[in-house]
Amino acid sequence: QMCEKFTVCQNSMEMLLHNNLNLPKVTEEDGNFLTFLSFQDKCLRKISSSLYTFQTYLKYIQETFISENQNVESLSFSTEHLAHTLRQMVINPEEVIIPDAATQESLHTKLKSTKAWTEKITIHLILRDFTSFMEKTVRAVRYLKNTRSFSV
């Protein structure tokens, strides 16, 4: 929808130039995906922490992409619920990193300071990376569900 409505597409040079959002993702530091999954508790901690981090980005989208407010609000609620559920499955839930209010506010302020013309690109980048992260999360949860007795 973003691509059609605002002509913000994957190959946009502007979009590539402005991708300094530091969004959560599975990185090479985590090893390849199967190795990453072999450390089940670490995997759950990483996913849960990242989902909590995405909350600030989703709040920004909700405030900025007004026409989709209800959809983003639902997405944000579901993301928070999943983060909480996965956190409860970690051996030591207090090890899950939840950004504190000051960190959230600092990031939110940084996002709000983007120029109006890059707003759409920022929203697109957040949603694209969130989608990619959630695809990996679904695979991880399926893998963990098949190798460990828990229900999600």
- List Cβ neighbours of 6 (8 Å cut-off, separation of 6 or more): 120, 124
Q: What is the predicted pLDDT for the residue at 32?
A: 45
Cβ(66)–Cβ(145) under 8 Å?
A: no
Q: What is the predicted pLDDT for the residue at 87?
A: 93
Cβ(114)–Cβ(20) under 8 Å?
A: no
36 pLDDT exceeds 50?
A: no
Helices 40-64, 116-147: crossing angle, 10 deg rounding: 150
* All domains of the chain in start order, with CATH: 42-149 (1.20.1250.10)
Give me the percent of the chain exceeding a pLDDT of 90. 38
If pLDDT is split at 50, 70 and 90, which confidence band does 4 have?
A: low
| pTM, 2 dp | 0.75
pLDDT digits (tens, 9 = 90+) for 67-109: 888 899 999 999 999 999 999 988 889 999 999 999 999 999 9
If pLDDT is split at 50, 70 and 90, which confidence band does 31 have?
A: very low
